[in-house]
Amino acid sequence: MSGYERMCCLHVKTWTWIIALVELIIAVIGFADIIGNLVDRQHRAEAAFWAQLAIEAIWVLFIVMLVVALSKNRAQLIIPHLVVSFAVVVFFVVDTIILIINVFTFWVFIYNGLLIIIVLSFIVVEYRCYLWMKEYHEIGIDI
């Protein structure tokens, strides 16, 4: 047995399912908010609006890939989501540095720090799930 099967009394695959569902809910709410802003005529012509819409759609696609990876037991499909999650951490770090330089407030620092910690913990759980799924897939056990 491997050492990355359980975390805080739950299996890593269960935690990854929880992460995927939470991210999917947040992404759908964000996507709905962006679509709701489409009604506002001011945002239609802004390049940032369309970029945000495209990024949100791509994010939903990667979350769906994670769900497929978990449901079909395909460890290799977790990797794209891990890469994108790591890119999100880099974005939050850069964003935090910019905010500290421009508008330093304690709450902005705490908020972005918590976001970084949460996303990093998601990455750790997903990576442990990837290792577990890969290990059991290689030895031919149906998980």
pLDDT per 10-residue tile (average), the chain, 143 residues: 66 90 88 74 65 82 92 91 88 80 79 86 90 75 54
3 part of a folded domain? no
**Residue range of the domain that includes 81:** 10-138
57 part of a folded domain? yes
Give the pLDDT of residue 1.
47
61 part of a folded domain? yes
Count: domains in the chain = 1
5 part of a folded domain? no
Q: Measured between alpha carbons, how far is 126 from 128 in angstroms, rounded to an integer? A: 5
54 part of a folded domain? yes
Give the pLDDT of residue 20.
92
Give the pLDDT of residue 12.
86
pTM: 0.76
